[in-house]
């Protein structure tokens, strides 16, 4: 499927503000892909599809997690996390995506994980800093692109974990392992 067909199909599945977020992620991901030498086309497909399952039925997502043998721990955590791995499944089965790096970028865009590829990092940070995002501190995160993709990714995962902790929310282990991965490198 070509990218304009993908965009049309995604548009039909999402409310207008969520579709605008997808377009924001697309623009930011392309910019970061150019800057950090990641194939633009992979960044485009991952960005277009990253939230494809955001409005999927909860019961259905639960059944996909079980039938596809995804991490069962997901079911013990907030259902908001499910659209990322289920989105990778939809990208594969409904959109014909078979590039494993693109699928991983969709799969881990909400939690992050240890040992992310550059494409995974780009989608994670683009999701967080795209132009429609307005939270306190987002401009500082945007500026970190000048200091490199790892600096930007580390700051973004740290911000996400701090936000969850401040709201007394549980943090999914992949997010903690992602944080640990970056901080450990520096000893």
Contact set with ligand DGI (CB under 6 A):
21, 51, 54, 77-78, 80-81, 84, 109-111, 127, 160, 164, 169-172, 175
Q: How many residues sit in the footprint of Fe ion (CB under 5 A)?
A: 3
Contact 10, 52 (CB under 8 A): yes
Nearer Cβ to ligand DGI (37/168): 168
Shortest-Cβ-distance residue relative to Fe ion: 127
Note whether 51 binds Fe ion by CB under 5 A: yes
Of 92 and 175, CB closest to ligand DGI: 175
Q: Residue 107 contacts by C-beta under 8 Å, 6 or more apart in sequence?
A: 84, 85, 87, 88
Instruction: Give me the torsion for CA of 83, 89, 92, 98, rounded to 10°.
Output: 100
| Stretch near Fe ion under the rule CB under 5 A, chosen from 33-41, 49-57, 64-72, 179-187 | 49-57
Q: 129: number of CA atoms within 13 Å, CB side?
A: 27
> Which residues in the 65-104 window bind Fe ion by CB under 5 A?
none
Site for Fe ion in 154-183 (CB under 5 A): none
Query: CA dihedral in degrees (56, 9, 98, 145; nearest 10)?
Result: -90
Choose from ligand DGI, Fe ion, none: what does 95 bind? Cβ within 5-8 Å by kind. Answer: none
Q: Residue 84 CB, nearest distance to Fe ion (Å)? A: 6
Give the integer Cα–Cα distance in Å for 118 and 115: 9
- 97/108 with CB nearer ligand DGI: 108
Q: How far is the CB of 34 from Fe ion (least distance, A)?
A: 20
Distance CA 136, CA 145 (A): 17
Choice from 6, 102, 111, 127 touching Fe ion (CB under 5 A):
127
Q: From residue 65, how far is each of 78, 109, 120, 151, 155 by CA, in Å?
A: 13, 16, 21, 32, 29
Positions touching Fe ion (CB under 5 A) are 51, 127-128
């Amino acid at each position: 499927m070509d990218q304009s067909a993908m965009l049309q199909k995604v548009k039909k599945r999402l409310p207008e503000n969520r579709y605008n977020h997808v377009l924001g992620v697309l623009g930011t991901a392309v910019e970061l892909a150019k800057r950090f030498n990641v194939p633009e086309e992979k960044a485009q497909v991952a960005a277009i599809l990253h939230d494809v399952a955001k409005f999927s039925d909860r019961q259905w997502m639960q059944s996909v997690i079980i039938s596809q043998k995804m991490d069962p721990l997901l079911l013990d955590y907030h259902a908001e996390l499910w659209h990322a791995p289920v989105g990778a499944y939809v990208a594969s089965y409904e959109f014909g995506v078979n590039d494993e790096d693109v699928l991983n970028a969709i799969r881990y865009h909400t939690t992050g994980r240890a040992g992310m590829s550059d494409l995974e990092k780009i989608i994670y940070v683009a999701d967080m800093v795209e132009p429609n995002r307005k939270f306190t501190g987002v401009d500082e995160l945007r500026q970190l692109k000048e200091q490199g993709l790892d600096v930007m990714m580390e700051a973004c995962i740290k911000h996400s974990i701090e936000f969850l902790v401040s709201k007394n929310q549980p943090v999914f282990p992949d997010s903690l392992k992602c944080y640990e991965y970056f901080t450990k490198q520096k000893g």
